[in-house]
Amino acid sequence: YDDRFSKKYGFFRPYVKQVIYRYLDCGILHNGFARVKCEECGHEFLLAFSCKRRHFCPSCHQKRVVEFGEWLCEEVLKDVPHRHFVFSIPKILRRYFLYDRKLLSDLTRCAWETLKEFFQEAVPEEDAVPGAVIAIHTFGDFLGWHPHLHVLCTDGCFYGNGMFRVAPLFEIKHLEEIFRHKVFKLLLKKEKITGELVEMVGGWRHSGFNVFCGSRIQPGSEDAIENLAPYIIRASFSQERMTYIPEESKVVYRSKDGKEEKTFDALEWLAAMCSHVPNKGQQMVRYFGFYSNVARGKRKKKDEDGLIPSILEPDGSAKEHKRNWARLIQKIYEIDPLCCPACSGKMKVISVIERPDVIKKILRHLGLWDRKARPPPKDVDPKIRIDSSDSQLPSCEDYLYRDPEYPIEAYAS
């Protein structure tokens, strides 16, 4: 394993061997079973024990998926608007999460703090807090190592005693900026990367960080939530898309749309599958804010968890929220973007230039119009390349996963 697979699929973990052996015993009556009998007619059958292995046994994981969807809708989520977010990181950073899987939990914290600070800035109440359920995914379409986060988050904040304020429309690029800053800060603190790498990635036209936002899911859309909940904890591979050729010891795996396929050596296929098995005791779904275990426990103790939230419309327009962006940048980056770098005085926006002829005239006056564009950055390591054409967004399977369509007037100054 070390010679063939460790560089691509991470270190060999002894716990994986336990998972495989338990899987091989799954559903075999010789390893034990339960007797199931009807009290009225006396009909009886035997139910073999399952291995209960997550993210490896298709049968056991699918049972968990169904149970999770029902439990999430009944016990955790409140009847308020929600959104589906996906947070992705560039390829050049993914290997750090492959060799140090504890970083995956820290990555969920980065996404949560990004959403919390963003939504709290949009809602004026002091004690406002959103709720989020974050699922960790480590796989791409062909089981490549692609750590990213699926987030089901309230589209606004809870506050007071059973009140909920809906957030105004927002721009995804701002979330991406905050998330990128927090991930870099995390990896620098853990001494995984250097400032030079941060500077290099920051100079790229496409940094590789990506935040996807689905359409708003309105209260009462139980079908949409029940469809989305299993989606965010789905298994790393699909049996329906997999074909095993025993004569050649090959596995053929098809893409989700069926247009592409990739052939694996049988041992490499096992290594790819095992790379996505969580460590023993590792939680792949985390709850934050109003949906955290602590918050839910406190509400149940006070018998307040069954309250139906009173939903209020956004306080202020999207234009006002956009003007407050400078305050949020100051809070996140610990700098004031409107502070003059020369005299530390207060700066303000005096105009917005959008007409092409005016833009050209001003740039010509400053001698910037004919300046050549900056060449693309050189690869530090020829083995590490960032393919900016590689979409890190989930496939648009239905209306839940489309980009939100907002009127352009919402962003006018």
Mean pLDDT value across residues 244-267? 92
Cα-Cα-Cα-Cα torsion 395, 397, 399, 401, nearest 10 degrees, comes to: -30
Tell me, what DSSP letter sits at residue 411? G
Q: How many residues does the chain have?
A: 413
Mean pLDDT value across residues 353-357? 74
User: Rounded to an integer, what distance in angstroms lies between the CA atom of residue 252 and that of residue 263?
Assistant: 4
Query: Per DSSP, which regions of 214-334 are E strands?
Result: 242-245, 250-254, 261-265, 285-289, 310-312
- R_g of the chain computed on alpha carbons: 25
Task: Provide the mean pLDDT of the chain.
Answer: 80
pLDDT at residue 325 tops 90: no
Alpha-carbon distances of 105 from 136, 178, 279, 314, 410, rounded to whole Å: 8, 18, 12, 32, 35
Mean pLDDT value across residues 38-44? 76
Cβ neighbours of residue 10 closer than 8 Å, sequence gap 6 or more: 98, 99, 145, 275
Comparing 64-68, 228-232, 237-241, 308-312, which segment has the lowest mean pLDDT?
Answer: 308-312
Residue 171 confidence (pLDDT): 78
Comparing 130-144, 263-277, 309-323, 370-384, which segment has the lowest mean pLDDT?
Answer: 370-384
Predicted confidence band of residue 244 (pLDDT cuts 50, 70, 90)? very high
What's the start-to-end Cα distance of the chain, in Å?
58
Closest by alpha carbon to 96, among 201, 4, 206, 251? 201
State pTM to two decimals: 0.75
Mean pLDDT value across residues 309-322? 60
Q: Which residue has the higher pLDDT, 187 or 40?
A: 187
Q: Please state, for a pLDDT cut of 90, what percent of the chain lies above it.
A: 40
- Which of 148-162, 313-327, 330-344, 387-401 ranks highest by mean pLDDT? 148-162
Count of alpha carbons within 13 angstroms of residue 346, beta-carbon side: 2
pLDDT at residue 154 tops 90: yes
Mean pLDDT value across residues 244-269? 92
Q: What is the pLDDT of residues 189-242, one digit of tens each?
A: 999 999 999 999 888 888 899 999 998 998 888 788 888 888 888 888 888 899
Q: Which residue has the higher pLDDT, 326 or 306?
A: 306
Count of alpha carbons within 13 angstroms of residue 229, beta-carbon side: 21
Predicted confidence band of residue 48 (pLDDT cuts 50, 70, 90)? confident
Comparing 147-161, 179-193, 227-241, which segment has the lowest mean pLDDT?
Answer: 227-241
pLDDT at residue 404 tops 60: no
Mean pLDDT value across residues 69-83? 89
pLDDT at residue 184 tops 60: yes
269: burial class by Cβ within 10 Å (0-12, 13-18, 19+)?
Answer: buried
Provide the pairing of β-strand 250-254 with 261-265: antiparallel
**DSSP H helical ranges for 124-265:** 172-189, 195-202, 222-231
pLDDT at residue 377 tops 50: no
